[in-house]
């Protein structure tokens, strides 16, 4: 955060006073500030990404032994109250914005004139509110978890399963809709990624990013309500955090990691597509990045499908039946 704060201060001067048509001493200082901001921000992105991964590993697989009553990440988040989920949301959104900035900044630096320097500075500054809220929520979550009594952890999952008939029916309908939405959205994402890899600039970047976000939400629900049953080999244990435990070979890291790659690369496609359309001199660099992001999305979708659905398909081949009646 210290690196990012220093970078944001430099980027603020660039955003407010950037005048590429001039070549006076002030503009030269701003060009130097843009270079410094880029270097500092790249270091902050690496540091923040490592911190987020360590935090996720802590919630998923490391901290539950020290939280009374916790058996997995469900209990850890329960101990953190609402602040843990808020922190995860803000960290995720902040990293998506910073990843999109990094893609834009690299493409901008492929041209000596740097036509999108001011746009890159604006995007870098845009991550500040998200990161501040993430740090604040993380602090509140840790302080809340330090004084919490024993949690119920997966008992809370079973309490929702044992709810009234109306609530159970609504939950089943929602899980079915999310499951089929995730399958259809995955096919649509795959088709758009293949088209983008062949003809860069033909797929609207904003549409790709929006579809990827909706797919990620539906895929998370599908993993929780449907695909996880083949790992647990029980029908009623919709707990995504147990997938991160060693008992299930840490499959959650691969499943949700592939989902994160898809969302991040869709944001990169949005960023590259914007440059492709607005700055003709950056079209070649943007085309290369569009193709690269599309290929990564294709491989991530394949990895997600194999890891999430592989045990279910194996169960079908071994027993002749699906463990969830959604097909």
pLDDT value at 3 more than 90: yes
Pair 312, 227: CB distance under 8 Å: yes
Task: Calculate the alpha carbon distances from 317 to 112, 229, 250, 321 in Å.
Answer: 58, 16, 23, 8
- CA distance linking residue 109 with residue 287, whole number of Å: 15
Confidence of residue 146 (pLDDT cuts 50, 70, 90): confident
Tokens of 59: 């919630």
Pair 253, 306: CB distance under 8 Å: no
In the chain, what is the greatest distance between 2 CA atoms, to the nearest angstrom? 76
Sequence-distant (6+) residues with CB within 8 A of 268 are 99, 100, 103, 289, 293
Structure confidence at residue 242 (pLDDT): 84
Confidence of residue 260 (pLDDT cuts 50, 70, 90): very high
DSSP letter string, 230-259:
HHHTSSS---GGGGGSGGGTTHHHHHHHHH
Region 164-179: mean pLDDT is 67
Residue whose tokens read 């496609």 = 269
315 vs 211, higher pLDDT = 211
Q: What are 171-178's contacts with CB under 8 Å, separation 24+?
A: 174/221, 175/221, 175/222, 175/225, 175/226, 175/238, 176/326, 178/217, 178/218, 178/221, 178/222, 178/225
Structure confidence at residue 246 (pLDDT): 85
Structure confidence at residue 21 (pLDDT): 74
Helix 73-80 / helix 128-146 crossing angle, nearest 10 deg: 100
Helix 117-126 / helix 2-17 crossing angle, nearest 10 deg: 140
Structure confidence at residue 78 (pLDDT): 85
Pair 37, 7: CB distance under 8 Å: yes
pTM of the shown model: 0.86
Structure confidence at residue 155 (pLDDT): 53
Q: Which of 8-22, 141-155, 157-171, 239-253 has the lowest mean pLDDT?
A: 157-171
Nearest to 92 by CA among 37, 48, 143: 48
Structure confidence at residue 125 (pLDDT): 93
- CA distance linking residue 40 with residue 142, whole number of Å: 28
pLDDT value at 261 more than 80: yes
User: Other C-beta atoms within 10 Å of 86: how many?
Assistant: 18
Sequence-distant (6+) residues with CB within 8 A of 299 are none
């Amino acid at each position: 955060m210290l690196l990012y704060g220093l970078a944001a201060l430099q980027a603020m001067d660039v955003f407010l006073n950037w005048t590429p048509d001039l070549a006076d001493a002030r503009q030269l200082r701003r060009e130097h500030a843009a270079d410094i901001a880029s270097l500092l921000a790249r270091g902050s992105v690496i540091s923040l990404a490592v911190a987020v991964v360590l935090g996720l590993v802590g919630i998923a697989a490391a901290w539950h032994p020290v939280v009374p009553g916790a058996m997995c990440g469900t209990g850890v988040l329960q101990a953190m109250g609402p602040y843990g989920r808020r922190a995860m949301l803000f960290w995720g959104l902040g990293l998506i914005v910073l990843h999109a900035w990094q893609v834009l900044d690299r493409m901008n630096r492929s041209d000596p004139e740097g036509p999108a320097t001011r746009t890159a500075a604006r995007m870098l500054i845009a991550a500040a509110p998200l990161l501040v809220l993430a740090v604040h929520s993380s602090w509140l979550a840790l302080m809340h978890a330090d004084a919490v009594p024993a949690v119920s952890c997966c008992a809370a999952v079973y309490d929702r399963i044992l709810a009234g008939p109306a609530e159970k029916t609504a939950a089943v309908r929602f899980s079915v809709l999310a499951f089929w939405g995730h399958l259809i959205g995955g096919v649509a994402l795959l088709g758009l990624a293949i088209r983008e890899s062949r003809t860069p600039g033909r797929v609207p970047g904003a549409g790709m990013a929006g579809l990827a976000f909706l797919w990620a939400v539906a895929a998370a629900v599908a993993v929780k309500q449907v695909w996880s049953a083949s790992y647990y080999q029980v029908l009623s244990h919709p707990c995504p955090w147990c997938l991160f435990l060693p008992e299930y070979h840490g499959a959650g890291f691969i499943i949700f990691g592939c989902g994160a790659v898809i969302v991040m690369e869709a944001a990169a496609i949005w960023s590259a597509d914007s440059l492709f359309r607005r700055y003709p001199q950056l079209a070649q660099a943007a085309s290369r990045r569009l193709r690269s992001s599309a290929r990564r999305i294709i491989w991530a979708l394949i990895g997600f499908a194999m890891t999430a659905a592989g045990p279910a398909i194996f169960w079908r081949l071994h027993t002749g039946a699906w463990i969830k009646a959604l097909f």
